[in-house]
A and B are shown apart, each in its own frame.
Chain A
């Protein structure tokens, strides 16, 4: 007869029968090590397992874990087991744990084989592309309905969205653009000073801000500030089933949620871009006049000389396109959000990343077109 005691659980075999005897207090018991050992002891010659606990005083879930594991092993190896020697409530709990044998049929984070995974990923990409195209089509339809006065867009929503992405964004846009103008002037000044051409800092800042930098800075600020807020708001509506409610009421989600946000950004972005251009030039002037000791009037003379309507309009057009991209990315991410707390965070991040990536792509396309057209 071999005997082995683990804290207050004794295991020994008698013939073909394995005995587990529990006594005293079994609290905070390390069931993992015990069960590993027990696995080895349930050898081929064991035909039955008997559980006894006549002198058991205190126990907690760790004791139940041992019994649950041991019974599971016995079941797996087709070994008969007897738990009648355990207290009635412990028996009840073990029976309860094994009462429902509902086998999970899906999910559980199972990994797919490579080929199946590849196919699934391809189908996902195609599905997402199709979703984006459908959404763009629905948005165009909504714009069409708006201009033909058939849209169900609420004007109060439009005004609230316009206020949020217009007047409320002015301070941050002005501050950041001022600082970007200032940085641009500093960086330029170091180089231009070596040629004694520091007066051209005015031209550098003006052309840089008006043509592209102003629009890009506004785009990045608004993608982080407004696009993410669109995704979070609409995503939370998805979690709260508000989007389902809209759909079952037969109302267009795009008309109701996307259109006011899109229109407000299309209006506010070009205006904010103009503000950014101006504030960037002021930032440049601050460096030129106060730090490089350039005459104030001279600085502005060169700045206005460099300012052309062509550059200005290219910048404003960039702002308009960026507004479209931010609204579409924010709303699309929100509308395709999952139904739990995590997915709102994911949708928000996606909206910002998508907007920035597509703004850079759009800038590249517009630059190439402008070059071809000689603008």
Chain B
């Protein structure tokens, strides 16, 4: 039985104005995938994420999220899609004037009918799930960078999203924190069945968590490879992909 497709990019071009970063991209993300968008610096990974989350429109083509074209859909449909998506930004992007619990309660206040006490309990649960039990009343300035990312993830999970996007989750983390975050992503994907889209160029994370991926190439401005990262390493379709996945080694 084929898996349900949650994200489908067709003939997608990404860029700003006349500047094209990527053209004619076609790919699919299935329900429950941990999908990696990888590639060197400047290849358009983060811009691709901005298109997927509807922050910028594609230059050409379409992105269907659960069957809805995010660039062409009416505002209420886009809002619906956003309610079912969570995003973890590089720095966590927590609101500094709010405590961690308040940060998590913010989307709940906006989109749910829970009582304030239930919201507090939900916030406590989400924080506990990401390993921050008891940090409810802490402000972002009082916790470390790794903890901020975890708290950002707790906020991204607040509304039980179908899809969670991660922008460079390992950036700025020590190897152990990075590994712990990878484990957390896998655990949440497995237990909650959430589809995960990760933009990263950290090889350790790519191989540890990814079960599907696309490789963006800055030189050709295309998707140069698709598939499971481990499979791509075993059978690299070209030199650029091999070099990237082996940290610059040349094929003999």
Could you list which residues of chain A lie within 8 angstroms of chain B, going by C-beta atoms? 28, 30-33, 35, 60-62, 64-65, 68-69, 89-90, 92-93, 96-104, 106-109, 338-343
Q: Note all chain B residues with C-beta closer than 8 A to A342.
A: 96-97
Contacts of B136 in A (CB 8 A): 108
Q: Report B98-140 residues with CB < 8 Å from chain A CB.
A: 99, 112-115, 117-118, 120-122, 124-126, 128-129, 131-140
Residue of B nearest to A97 (CB): B128
Q: Which residues of A contact B97 (CB under 8 A)?
A: 342
Considering the chains assembled together, what is the distance between the CA atoms of A61 and B113 in angstroms?
A: 14
Smallest beta-carbon distance B194→chain A, Å? 11
A62 touches B142 (CB 8 A): no
Partner of A30, one of B99, B114, B129: B114
Top 4 A-B pairs ranked by shortest CB distance?
A32-B117, A107-B142, A97-B128, A340-B96
A69 partner residues in chain B, CB cutoff 8 A: 121
Identify which of B96, B118, B141, B192 contacts A62 (C-beta below 8 A). B118
Contacts known (A28-B112, A62-B122, A342-B96); A100 close to B131, Cβ less than 8 A: yes
- Knowing A33-B115, A98-B128, A107-B142 are in contact, say whether A89-B122 is a contact too (CB < 8 A): no
- CB pair A341 B96 closer than 8 Å: yes
Chain A residue numbers with a CB within 8 Å of B142 are 106-108
27 A-B residue pairings within 8 Å (CB atoms) = A28-B112, A28-B113, A28-B114, A30-B114, A32-B121, A33-B115, A61-B126, A61-B160, A62-B114, A65-B121, A65-B122, A65-B125, A69-B121, A90-B191, A92-B190, A93-B191, A99-B131, A100-B131, A102-B132, A103-B134, A106-B142, A107-B138, A108-B137, A108-B138, A109-B99, A109-B137, A109-B139
Closest to A29 in B: B118
In the bound complex, CA of A93 to CA of B139 (Å)? 25
CB proximity of A335 to chain B, nearest CB, Å? 18
With beta carbons under 8 angstroms apart, the residue of B99, B120, B137, B191 that contacts A89 is B191
Contact assessment for B131 and A102 in the assembled complex, using a CB-CB cutoff below 8 Å: yes
Q: Which B residue sits closest to A60, measured CB to CB?
A: B160
Give Cα distance in the complex from A31 to B160, angstroms.
16
CB distance from A240 to the nearest CB of B (A): 12
A33 to B118, CA, bound (A): 8
Shortest CB-to-CB span from B151 to chain A, Å, is 13
B160 touches A338 (CB 8 A): no
Contacts of A98 in B (CB 8 A): 128, 133
Interface of B is mostly: loop
Chain A: which residue is nearest B147 at the CB level? A102
B187 part of interface (Cβ distance < 8 Å): yes
Q: Is the CB of A65 within 8 A of B118?
A: yes
Binary per-residue interface labels of chain B (188-228) against chain A in the complex, 1 for a CB within 8 Å, 0 otherwise: 00111100000000000000000000000000000000000
A30 and B115 within 8 A (CB): yes
- Distance (whole angstroms) from the CB of A91 to the closest CB of chain B: 9
Q: Is the CB of A102 within 8 A of B187?
A: no
A198 to B45, CA, bound (A): 74
In the bound complex, residues from chain A placing their C-beta under 8 Å from that of B143 are: 107
Chain A nearest CB from B41 CB (Å) reads 20
Q: Which of B122, B128, B131 has the most CB of A within 10 A?
A: B128
B113 touches A96 (CB 8 A): no
> Apart from A61-B122, A89-B193, A104-B135, what 6 extra A-B contacts exist at CB < 8 Å?
A31-B121, A61-B125, A61-B160, A68-B121, A99-B131, A102-B131
Chain B proximity of A342: nearest CB distance (Å): 5
Report if A101-B113 is in contact (Cβ < 8 Å); known contacts: A32-B121, A92-B187, A92-B191: no
A107–B132 alpha-carbon span in the complex (Å): 14
Best-surrounded residue of B99, B118, B122, B160 (most CB of chain A within 10 A): B118
Interface centre among B121, B131, B135, B140 (most CB of A within 10 A): B121
Query: What's the nearest-Cβ distance from chain A to residue B21, in Å?
Result: 25
For A92, the chain B residues whose CB sits under 8 A away are 187, 190-191
Q: B140–A89 contact, CB under 8 A?
A: no
Closest residue of chain B to A88 (Cβ to Cβ) is: B191
Which residues on the A side are within 8 Å of B128 (C-beta)?
68, 97-98, 100
The listed residue (A35, A102, A106, A107) touching B133 by CB distance below 8 A is A102
Instruction: Give bound CA distance, A31 to B131, whole Å.
Output: 21
- Residues from chain A with a CB closer than 8 A to the CB of B129 are 93, 96-97
A81 and B150 CA atoms in complex are apart in Å by 28
* A104 to B137 alpha-carbon distance, docked (Å): 10
Chain B hits for A28, CB < 8 A: 112-114
Kindly identify which residue among B113, B120, B134, B141 contacts A340, using a CB–CB cutoff of 8 Å: B141
Please state if B192 and A93 are interface contacts (CB–CB under 8 Å): yes
In the assembled complex, which residues on chain B have CB atoms less than 8 Å from the CB atom of A62? Answer: 114, 118, 122
Tell me the complex Cα distance, A102–B142, Å: 15
Complex alpha-carbon distance, A338 and B112, angstroms: 34
**A89 and B192 contacting across the interface, CB-CB below 8 Å:** yes
Interface centre among B112, B129, B192 (most CB of A within 10 A): B129
Residues of A within 8 A of B99 (CB): 109
* B153-193 near A? 1/0 per residue, CB < 8 Å: 00001001000000000000000000000000001001111
Please give the distance in Å from B63's CB to the nearest CB on chain A.
26
In the complex, are the beta carbons of A97 and B133 less than 8 A apart?
A: yes
Whether A68 and B135, one on each chain, are in contact in the complex, defined by CB atoms closer than 8 angstroms, is: no
Instruction: Give CA–CA (A32, B114) in the complex, Å.
Output: 9
